[in-house]
């Protein structure tokens, strides 16, 4: 490998990736998580020693991610709420990650061209736009920086046998965990590196990694305890549904990494036909079984496909919804940020194999490979450039989210928007519009609309109840309880308000109150979700 070639490749990776994601620098903040992480986050307002201590001793939305909060606190201290700085930081971190991917694959494959293709695909892929162009996803690009650096340090520790690299690996692993719990997968990737580098998996090898697995176990327990009030699958989906959802999620990420078309900011849970998931979910295990068999069969010829496949699987496993992660989305583009490296590696090795082994017999293949790769790079760059615009602000985000929903909901949304625009709207119009925004996961907008309905008619139990539901979906359970109680003060027999109380108390782990309120709701005629009732029944004495 020539040094000049590596430098040229690195410059090209930076240049093409930067141009592809340049429009993100013109974006503003998006509602929802941007409010929780930056705009309305008191944790980032104080960079004194006391403020930093608060950051490192506080949970945020049920998760411990102090370095993410600290990065926002530094930006707020020096630049306040100018979105350009926040977007620039995300973009710089992403460019650094692309270089780290290049470095990592260079160490693994010892092929400059393979490393270049993997890093370039990583830098320009449209699925990665969400992690870069959305300020709140700072945690993705920052944790990946430490994660990739840690793997590189580990490979150097294997090569040079210097203890300093081993200590550096562990230090970077800790930094990864302090950014995002997804770093828990790090020790498994170390084992995977041993596999691809033909390092013997013996007793001494496992002993050297014991501290990594023990640390992961501690952080996992810590995360499960404190995130229990925030992690929740949609109530009508049970454990066995989760198995099919997990299989579908793996296929979704694989398909979108290979062919990133029809991307969306929000992929909602599917509608069930009775108790059955859609057909694609039910047959997804069969597709996955076929792919798994093919990967295992490839072991006869190479370790590369197993390495890439397991890298993908290990990194994406925490978010395939086998264990609920909460929210409205069944899958999300951002979850493919780090895991996609494994698939890119398989693709790059396949391209290199075609170029080296087949082009000699048929020179036209060499031309087709180069032309196809160039076309793919241009297409992906173009798609990413356009995808950045989706994150300009709340309106662009919401318009993109609507693509995932039936036309009936879009028509209802248009109807109430136009009605309010014509005559300023009645409280019922604002309430109905709030319900639609809530269904679409835009809870901040739903809250604003409910408040407008209450401003027009402060004696509307429906408005207070909808406001309670919106706060509940935003995981602000104290406010959800407050507004449910206000709704019941106006209408003591409002069954839905009792249900909202039950849900809020459940997530606050006040199970006796949750049971009391759901029983009242049912007694008043409310049809409670069967999965939620089953969960509550565990806590009945």
Scanning the structure block, which residue is given the tokens 């599917």? 270
Task: Give the SS3 label for residue 351.
Answer: helix
Closest CA to 76 of 32, 29, 31: 29
User: Does a structural domain hold residue 156?
Assistant: yes
Residue 312 to residue 459: CA distance in whole angstroms = 53
Same domain? For 261 and 382 the reply is yes
Same domain, 389 and 425: no
Of 395, 426, 442, at which residue does a domain stop?
A: 395
Helical residues (DSSP H) of 197-238, grouped into ranges: 203-208, 210-226
Compute the distance between CA of residue 436 and CA of residue 409 in angstroms, rounded to an integer.
7
Tell me, yes or no, whether 326 and 459 share the same domain.
Answer: no
**Cβ–Cβ < 8 Å for 44, 76:** yes
Confidence of residue 408 (pLDDT cuts 50, 70, 90): low
Q: Tell me, yes or no, whether 55 lies in a domain.
A: yes
pLDDT tens-digit series, residues 374-396: 999 999 999 999 999 999 988 78
Domain boundary among 339, 366, 395: 395
Distance in angstroms (rounded) separating the CA atoms of residues 102 and 116 = 6
Higher per-residue pLDDT: 445 or 403: 445
Residues 413 and 269 in one domain: no
Same domain, 416 and 313: no
Residue 500 lies in a domain: yes
Residue 257 is assigned to a structural domain of this protein: yes
Residues 360, 463: one domain?
Answer: no
Domain termination residue (choose one: 395, 416, 441): 395
The answer to whether residues 346 and 383 belong to one domain is yes
pTM score, two decimals?
A: 0.84
How many domains does the chain divide into?
Answer: 2
- Residue 190 falls inside a structural domain: yes
> How far, in Å, CA of 86 to CA of 356, rounded?
43
388 and 424 within one domain: no
Residue 288 has pLDDT above 90, yes or no: yes
Confirm whether 400 is domain-assigned.
no
Instruction: Compute CA 205 distance to the chain's CA centroid, rounded to the nearest angstrom.
Output: 32
Per residue in 309-352, pLDDT (tens digit) is: 999 999 999 999 886 555 567 899 999 999 999 999 999 999 99
Check whether residue 376 and residue 479 sit in a common domain.
no
Residues 8 and 90 reside in one and the same domain: yes
One domain, residues 389 and 412? no
Helix (H) / strand (E) containing 446: helix 443-456
The 10s digit of each residue's pLDDT in 430-463 is: 888 888 787 777 777 888 888 988 988 899 899 9
- Quote the domain boundaries for residue 420: 405-537
Task: Give yes or no for a contact between 34 and 398, defined as CB atoms under 8 angstroms apart.
Answer: no
Largest CA distance in the chain: 82
| pLDDT exceeds 80 at position 31 | no
């Amino acid at each position: 490998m020539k040094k000049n070639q590596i430098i040229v490749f690195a410059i090209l990776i930076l240049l093409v990736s930067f141009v592809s994601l340049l429009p993100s620098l013109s974006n503003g903040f998006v509602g929802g998580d941007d409010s929780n992480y930056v705009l309305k986050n008191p944790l980032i307002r104080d960079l004194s020693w006391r403020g930093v201590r608060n950051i490192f001793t506080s949970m945020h939305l049920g998760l411990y991610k102090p370095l993410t909060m600290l990065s926002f606190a530094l930006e707020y201290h020096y630049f306040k709420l100018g979105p350009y700085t926040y977007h620039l930081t995300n973009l710089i971190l992403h460019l650094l990650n692309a270089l780290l991917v290049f470095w990592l694959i260079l160490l693994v494959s010892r092929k400059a061209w393979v490393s270049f293709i993997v890093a370039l695909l990583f830098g320009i892929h449209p699925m990665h736009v969400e992690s870069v162009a959305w300020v709140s996803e700072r945690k993705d690009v920052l944790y990946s920086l430490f994660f990739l650096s840690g793997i590189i340090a580990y490979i150097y520790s294997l090569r040079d046998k210097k203890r300093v690299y081993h200590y550096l690996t562990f230090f970077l692993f800790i930094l990864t965990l302090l950014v995002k719990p997804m770093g828990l997968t790090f020790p498994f990737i170390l084992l995977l590196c041993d596999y691809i580098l033909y390092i013997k998996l013996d007793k001494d090898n496992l002993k050297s990694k014991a501290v990594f697995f023990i640390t992961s176990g501690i952080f996992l327990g810590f995360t499960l305890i404190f995130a229990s009030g925030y992690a929740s699958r949609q109530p009508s989906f049970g454990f066995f549904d989760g198995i099919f959802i997990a299989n579908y999620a793996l296929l979704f990420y694989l398909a979108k990494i290979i062919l990133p078309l029809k991307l969306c900011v929000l992929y909602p849970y599917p509608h069930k036909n009775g108790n059955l998931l859609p057909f694609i979910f039910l047959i997804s295990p069969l597709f996955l079984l076929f792919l798994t068999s093919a990967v295992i069969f490839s072991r006869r010829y190479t370790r590369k496909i197993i390495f890439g496949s397991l890298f993908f699987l290990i990194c994406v496993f925490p978010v395939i919804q086998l264990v609920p992660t909460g929210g409205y989305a069944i899958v999300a583009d951002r979850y493919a940020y780090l895991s996609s490296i494994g698939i890119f590696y398989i693709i790059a090795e396949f391209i290199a194999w075609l170029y080296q082994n087949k082009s000699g017999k048929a020179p036209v293949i060499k031309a087709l490979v180069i032309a196809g790769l160039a076309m793919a790079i241009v297409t992906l760059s173009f798609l990413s450039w356009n995808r950045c615009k989706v994150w300009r602000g709340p309106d662009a985000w919401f318009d993109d989210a609507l693509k995932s929903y039936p036309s009936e909901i879009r028509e209802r949304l248009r109807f109430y928007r136009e009605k309010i625009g014509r005559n300023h709207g009645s409280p019922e119009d604002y309430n109905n519009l709030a319900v639609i925004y809530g269904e679409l996961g835009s809870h901040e907008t739903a809250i604003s609309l409910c408040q407008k309905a209450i401003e027009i008619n402060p004696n509307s139990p429906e408005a207070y109840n909808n406001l309670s539901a919106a706060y509940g979906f935003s995981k602000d359970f104290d406010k959800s309880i407050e507004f449910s109680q206000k709704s019941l003060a106006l209408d003591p027999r409002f069954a839905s308000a009792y249900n909202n109380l039950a849900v809020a108390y459940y997530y606050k782990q006040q199970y006796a109150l949750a049971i009391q309120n759901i029983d009242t709701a049912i007694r008043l005629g409310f049809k409670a979700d069967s999965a939620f009732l089953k969960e509550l029944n565990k806590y009945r004495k």
